[in-house]
Amino acid sequence: MQTIGLSLLTAATGLICSLLASVVGGAASGVLVGGRALGSKLAGMLGGIFGPLAGVTGGAIGLVALMFVG
């Protein structure tokens, strides 16, 4: 059975994708949650800043898990 390892390019692509997805998701949820209280632009900007705190961490943990499993 042949195993396919996790290459550096695959890991970097995964981290970049998780960064982009968390910025977009954080901005969208910031507008939905705090758009009325803070204004849509400020809430979106804050969500775009704070969204990657969890998104990139989750992506990195997922890549480490794939490294051990795959």
Q: How far apart are CA 68 and CA 70, in angstroms?
A: 6
Structural domain count, the chain = 1
Give the amino acid at 54.
A
**What does pTM read for this prediction?**
0.81
Instruction: Identify the domain containing residue 26 by its residue range.
Output: 12-69
* pLDDT tens track, the chain, 70 positions: 455 667 888 889 989 999 999 999 999 999 999 999 999 999 999 999 999 998 999 999 998 898 888 6
Distances (CA, A) of 50 to 28, 30, 53, 54: 12, 9, 6, 8
Is residue 57 one of the residues assigned to a domain? yes
pLDDT value of position 27: 95
Cα separation, 52 vs 60, whole angstroms = 11
Q: For residue 16, tell me if it sits in a domain.
A: yes
